[in-house]
């Protein structure tokens, strides 16, 4: 594909907004998720909003070609222990992360963080984990950005389970 089209427009693949004669780069066009109903969602904006809750250390919104959105969420281990105990769960047992009561509580907290997003941008399902994405495990870039394709590949079974 040509970077500069016949009309002289430069195609960078960046998403931007124009404000007061300044251009602000807000993301990448290829990072837009398109649901099966055609709705387009910028996942990085949602992920940033989700991570404003201190319980959530990292988040990746999924749903490309799916009927609804899901999220992979890495919990803050320090806060997880207290949260698990409040719910009567064993914080050391990995199966506690699949507890239905915990899942409902987490979804409620996620929705609270996403209250300014449109209704179609609702997270319906979550996969919770405690192992952070790092540069060392290949899931973050050296500038600490999530390597979306690598995370999607590593968690493909968990993502499929969200839609089973």
Distance from C-alpha of 77 to C-alpha of 97, rounded to nearest angstrom: 12
Alpha helices in the chain (DSSP H): 43-50, 77-86, 100-113, 148-154, 156-162
The percent of residues above 90 in pLDDT, for the chain, comes to: 75
Pair 89, 97: CB distance under 8 Å: no
- The reported pLDDT for the residue numbered 13 is 65
What's the rounded Cα separation, in Å, for the pair 128 and 126? 6
What domains are there in the chain, each with its CATH number?
31-162 (3.30.300.30)
Q: Going by DSSP bridges, is the β-strand pair 33-34/22-28 parallel, antiparallel, or unpaired?
A: unpaired
Give residue 15's pLDDT band: very low, low, confident or very high (50, 70, 90): low
Global pTM reads: 0.82
- 66 — phi, psi (to 5°)? -100, 165
* Residue 57, pLDDT above cutoff 90: yes
Element (H, E) at 126: strand 123-129
């Amino acid at each position: 594909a040509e970077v500069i089209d016949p009309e002289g427009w430069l195609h960078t693949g960046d998403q931007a907004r124009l404000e007061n004669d300044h251009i602000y780069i807000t993301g990448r066009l290829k990072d837009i998720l398109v649901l099966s109903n055609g709705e387009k969602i910028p996942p990085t904006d949602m992920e940033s909003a989700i991570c404003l809750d201190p319980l959530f250390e990292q988040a990746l919104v999924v749903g490309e070609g799916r009927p609804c959105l899901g999220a992979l969420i890495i919990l803050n281990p320090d806060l997880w222990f207290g949260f698990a105990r409040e719910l009567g769960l064993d914080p050391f047992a990995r199966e506690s992360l699949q507890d239905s009561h915990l899942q409902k509580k987490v979804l409620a907290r996620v929705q609270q963080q996403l209250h300014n997003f449109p209704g179609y941008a609702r997270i319906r399902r979550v996969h919770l984990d405690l192992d952070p994405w790092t540069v060392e495990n290949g899931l973050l870039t050296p500038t600490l950005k999530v390597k979306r394709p690598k995370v999607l590949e590593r968690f493909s079974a968990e993502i499929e389970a969200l839609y089973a």
